[in-house]
Amino acid sequence: MPTLHDSDRSTPVRLRAEHFTDLDVFDIASAGSVLAAAIADIAHHQISEPGYWDCYGDPSDELARLQDALDGMQQAVRDARAQLSSVERRARRRAKRGGGRKRSSSGGTR
Protein backbone atom coordinates (compact mmCIF):
# COMPACT_ATOMS: atom_id res chain seq x y z
CA MET A 1 0.00 0.00 0.00
CA PRO A 2 1.63 3.30 -1.05
CA THR A 3 2.37 5.96 1.50
CA LEU A 4 2.23 9.48 0.17
CA HIS A 5 3.15 12.62 2.04
CA ASP A 6 1.55 16.02 2.37
CA SER A 7 3.17 18.85 0.46
CA ASP A 8 5.28 19.61 3.54
CA ARG A 9 6.27 15.90 3.72
CA SER A 10 5.49 15.73 7.43
CA THR A 11 2.32 13.63 7.58
CA PRO A 12 2.15 10.30 5.75
CA VAL A 13 -1.18 9.48 4.12
CA ARG A 14 -2.03 5.80 3.62
CA LEU A 15 -3.96 5.13 0.45
CA ARG A 16 -6.73 2.54 0.54
CA ALA A 17 -9.05 1.24 -2.15
CA GLU A 18 -11.83 3.63 -1.13
CA HIS A 19 -9.63 6.63 -1.96
CA PHE A 20 -9.75 5.69 -5.65
CA THR A 21 -12.62 6.18 -8.10
CA ASP A 22 -13.46 4.29 -11.27
CA LEU A 23 -11.82 7.13 -13.20
CA ASP A 24 -8.63 6.59 -11.20
CA VAL A 25 -8.66 2.88 -12.06
CA PHE A 26 -9.19 3.77 -15.72
CA ASP A 27 -6.28 6.23 -15.57
CA ILE A 28 -4.05 3.60 -13.95
CA ALA A 29 -4.94 1.17 -16.74
CA SER A 30 -4.27 3.89 -19.32
CA ALA A 31 -0.85 4.61 -17.83
CA GLY A 32 -0.04 0.90 -17.90
CA SER A 33 -1.20 0.75 -21.50
CA VAL A 34 1.20 3.54 -22.48
CA LEU A 35 4.07 1.44 -21.15
CA ALA A 36 2.67 -1.80 -22.59
CA ALA A 37 2.34 -0.23 -26.05
CA ALA A 38 5.99 0.82 -26.05
CA ILE A 39 7.07 -2.65 -24.95
CA ALA A 40 4.86 -4.31 -27.57
CA ASP A 41 6.20 -2.04 -30.32
CA ILE A 42 9.79 -2.84 -29.43
CA ALA A 43 9.06 -6.55 -29.06
CA HIS A 44 7.27 -6.67 -32.42
CA HIS A 45 9.76 -4.65 -34.45
CA GLN A 46 13.12 -5.21 -32.79
CA ILE A 47 13.18 -8.61 -31.07
CA SER A 48 13.02 -11.95 -32.88
CA GLU A 49 13.81 -14.44 -30.14
CA PRO A 50 12.61 -13.70 -26.62
CA GLY A 51 15.39 -11.90 -24.80
CA TYR A 52 17.45 -11.31 -27.97
CA TRP A 53 17.84 -7.99 -29.79
CA ASP A 54 18.01 -8.33 -33.58
CA CYS A 55 21.19 -6.90 -35.11
CA TYR A 56 21.09 -7.14 -38.88
CA GLY A 57 22.41 -3.79 -40.10
CA ASP A 58 25.71 -2.02 -39.90
CA PRO A 59 26.80 -0.97 -36.40
CA SER A 60 25.94 2.72 -36.84
CA ASP A 61 22.38 1.82 -37.91
CA GLU A 62 22.03 -0.62 -35.03
CA LEU A 63 23.27 1.98 -32.56
CA ALA A 64 20.70 4.48 -33.84
CA ARG A 65 17.93 1.86 -33.81
CA LEU A 66 18.64 0.84 -30.22
CA GLN A 67 18.90 4.47 -29.11
CA ASP A 68 15.55 5.18 -30.77
CA ALA A 69 13.94 2.24 -28.96
CA LEU A 70 15.41 3.37 -25.64
CA ASP A 71 14.16 6.92 -26.24
CA GLY A 72 10.68 5.58 -26.97
CA MET A 73 10.71 3.49 -23.81
CA GLN A 74 11.99 6.42 -21.74
CA GLN A 75 9.21 8.66 -23.06
CA ALA A 76 6.60 5.98 -22.33
CA VAL A 77 7.89 5.66 -18.77
CA ARG A 78 7.74 9.46 -18.34
CA ASP A 79 4.20 9.63 -19.72
CA ALA A 80 3.00 6.72 -17.57
CA ARG A 81 4.58 8.21 -14.44
CA ALA A 82 2.94 11.57 -15.16
CA GLN A 83 -0.47 9.91 -15.42
CA LEU A 84 0.13 7.98 -12.21
CA SER A 85 1.21 11.14 -10.39
CA SER A 86 -2.11 12.72 -11.27
CA VAL A 87 -4.00 9.69 -9.93
CA GLU A 88 -1.93 9.70 -6.73
CA ARG A 89 -2.55 13.42 -6.15
CA ARG A 90 -6.30 12.97 -6.49
CA ALA A 91 -6.34 9.93 -4.20
CA ARG A 92 -4.15 11.73 -1.65
CA ARG A 93 -6.57 14.68 -1.56
CA ARG A 94 -9.45 12.27 -0.92
CA ALA A 95 -7.47 10.46 1.79
CA LYS A 96 -6.60 13.74 3.54
CA ARG A 97 -10.28 14.70 3.56
CA GLY A 98 -11.03 11.31 5.08
CA GLY A 99 -13.33 10.48 2.24
CA GLY A 100 -13.51 8.68 -0.97
CA ARG A 101 -15.93 6.54 -2.85
CA LYS A 102 -16.24 2.88 -2.05
CA ARG A 103 -15.85 0.61 -5.01
CA SER A 104 -18.27 -2.28 -5.29
CA SER A 105 -17.06 -5.86 -5.56
CA SER A 106 -17.79 -5.72 -9.29
CA GLY A 107 -15.45 -2.76 -9.68
CA GLY A 108 -18.08 -0.01 -9.75
CA THR A 109 -18.63 2.65 -7.13
CA ARG A 110 -21.44 2.82 -4.62
Residues with Cβ within 8 Å of 48's Cβ and at least 6 positions away in sequence, in order, are: 54
| Start-to-end CA span in the chain (Å) | 22
- CA atoms of 5 and 96, how far apart (whole Å): 10
- CA atoms of 46 and 40, how far apart (whole Å): 10
User: How do the pLDDT tens digits run along the chain, 110 residues long?
Assistant: 555 554 544 567 789 999 999 999 999 999 999 999 999 999 998 888 888 888 888 999 999 999 999 999 999 999 999 999 999 999 999 998 886 665 555 555 44
Q: What is the pTM of this model?
A: 0.74
Domain ranges of the chain: 16-95
